[in-house]
Chain A
Amino acid sequence: QQQVKQSPQSLIVQKGGISIINCAYENTAFDYFPWYQQFPGKGPALLIAIRPDVSEKKEGRFTISFNKSAKQFSLHIMDSQPGDSATYFCAASRGSGYSTLTFGKGTMLLVSP
C-alpha cells in the first residue's frame, strides 16, 4: 500500500518557468509534510516543510500548497533554474513516539537552459 503518491514521475521545465510537483496521501494521521531534494550521488536534503494548520508556506522561490480536505500537497518552484535540476521527494510523517518519514517515489526535474 503506497501511502504517499507523487506525480509526475519526471518533469521538464524551461529556465524561468514554474515547476509544480504534486503529492497525495491517505493516512489522515500524518501531521508533517516535508519536501526533499536529491542530487545524483548525494542523500536527500530537506528543502521546505509544512504542517496541516496552514495552507501555504513560502521560502524564497519554493512554496508548498496544502489542501487538508483533499489530502493533497504540492511544491511550486518559481523562476526555475538549471541548478534546480534534481530529484524531488515529498514525504509525510505522524507523531508516533518516533519520527519516521514515508516518501513518495520521486520526481526527476530537468530545467533546460
Chain B
Amino acid sequence: ETGVTQSPTHLIKTRGQQVTLRCSSQSGHNTVSWYQQALGQGPQFIFQYYREEENGRGNFPPRFSGLQFPNYSSELNVNALELDDSALYLCASSADSYNEKLFFGSGTQLSVL
C-alpha cells in the first residue's frame, strides 16, 4: 500500500507567476483534499475533490484551482502568486468524501519572492 506522495518537495516562484503542485493519493482512496499551512499555523482547508469533481471549498480566492484525474491523483494550481501564498501545501487523501480520516503527504514548500 503506497502512501500519499507530493511533488515537488520545494519550489521557488516570483510574485505574479503561476504554479502547479501534484499529489498522488493513497491506494484505494478516491477523495483528495488540499490544505495550506502557513509558518507556525495549523493547516487551512482549500478544497476537496471527489471522483474528479470539486466537492467543497474553503475561504480561498478563485485563483486557487484544482483538478482530479481518473486515477484519483490531483493537481493544485495557483495563479497570480502573491507573497502571502508562501506556505506548505498539503495534500490529503481519504477513502471517500464523508470519511474524516485524512492521510497527509509530506507537502510542497512554496516560497514566493
Contact = CB atoms under 8 A, between A and B. Distances in A.
Interface in A83-113: 89, 91, 93, 95-106
Contacts of B33: 99-100
Interface residues of A, number: 27
Interface stretch (A14-22, A43-51, A57-65, A70-78): A43-51
B106 interface: yes
A44 B90 contact: yes
Interface string B4-36: 100000000000000000000000000101000
A90 to B, nearest CB: 9
Interface of B: 4, 31, 33, 40-45, 48, 50, 55-56, 58, 90, 92, 94, 97-107
Interface of A: 4, 6, 32, 34, 36, 41-46, 49, 89, 91, 93, 95-106
